[in-house]
A = this chain, B = another copy of it.
């Protein structure tokens, strides 16, 4: 156990790294990675290794790792596939215990030569060096100063989300797109062909990592299915695990085999795995991000019994459809509460049942407040979604605030926070993007500012009701599963 943890420390917090296969040519992988790593701000020692170079970007280059005079924690390998086994042998001789291999050209090409080369990596690993990859983008760990390639622009802040990704492209996309969600990562690992370290190792690591509260994964085909499922059952008791399992269609499975040389598995098997383990299933990158956001901010009390508050009748119908399709329940409020709503919501063009339709996307502040409070006060209601009523106007047309008094925007922004805190029930907001014509890009900027205000205050915000409802439903399902098994 402790030996293993030491290895992961070398992966995530190395004091010194050897970059093997680095030339001064920035258009090549190695050169670009060195530049990226320095831009990102790695503060440990960097030792470039290349047989023919002497200096790159002002750093001395060593012919092999064995020539480096100081200890090396972590080897980052970018040489062509056929040279990787001998480089690993050098690393073993140097006493390096951890390596990531970016190089492609192994089992994923589906040819004899690739399989043979990958088998050689496995043999080297057994001699005492733990390996991430090959055919991967490696490790992102803001606290350790490490990033993927490309990844100079990733967040340098640490957060509670741990990422496991078989795909380098999606690891990179996830790490980039979280910036628009106010989400930070503890670590992210693109592990590619998993010749040694695989999804089960990473899952177990993240399960015990105190910095990681939520685990997210992009999987194509786990190497050892039984071990993975066993690990998953344990981990979901402690932390939510959100999995995008790709390659479950025929066409997808074919693509998986040429991508990471894995077996994608059957839809029906994965259905069972999700049902039995309590892992949360998503089907694309957007859902992975949306669901992570929901788990980040919503408490274990988040439940399926929903109240939706909006402005406009069609919107209420769509909200009811979307919530029920997502597996949430919208029951009419009890008549006592409906009576309270009747007192201030005009009788025409509105609804006081649930969804509550206050009749206008721009209601007076006290109407929005009373509607939210009455909905929150219902004992059955566990979770609130506020859509349109409070916020379309914020993102749409600042001019309309003029006649509402100077504190209107600030008071409107604060309203959902106050209701959440007063009633102790989670609120999710829908801030729609509206029209995306070029001229509206300034409204989009404003929308993002309001959105970030809510992220900072622990309220998830989505651009559509459908995405909000689906995300709430996944969180409610997980905590229900966890409580009842």
Contact = CB atoms under 8 A, between A and B. Distances in A.
A334 interface: no
A54 interface: no
Given A252-B324, A445-B441, A449-B438, A259 B316 contact: yes
Nearest to A466: B284
Contact of A316 (B180, B250, B255, B438): B255
Interface residues on A, range: 35 or more
Contacts of A255: 313, 316-317, 319-320, 351, 353, 355
Task: Specify the main secondary structure of chain A where it touches its partner.
Answer: helix
Given A435-B176, A437-B179, A259 B452 contact: no
Interface stretch (A64-72, A166-174, A420-428, A472-480): A166-174
A285 interface: yes
Interface in A240-278: 246-252, 254-256, 258-260
A300 interface: no
A411 interface: no
Given A109-B347, A347-B109, A247 B317 contact: yes
B314 A166 contact: yes
Contact of A247 (B81, B254, B321): B321
Contacts of A168: 312-314
Contact of A438 (B166, B259, B353, B452): B452
Nearest to A167: B314
A231 interface: no
Contact of A105 (B329, B348, B434, B466): B348
- The 3 tightest CB contacts between A and B, nearest first, are A167-B314, A180-B436, A169-B312
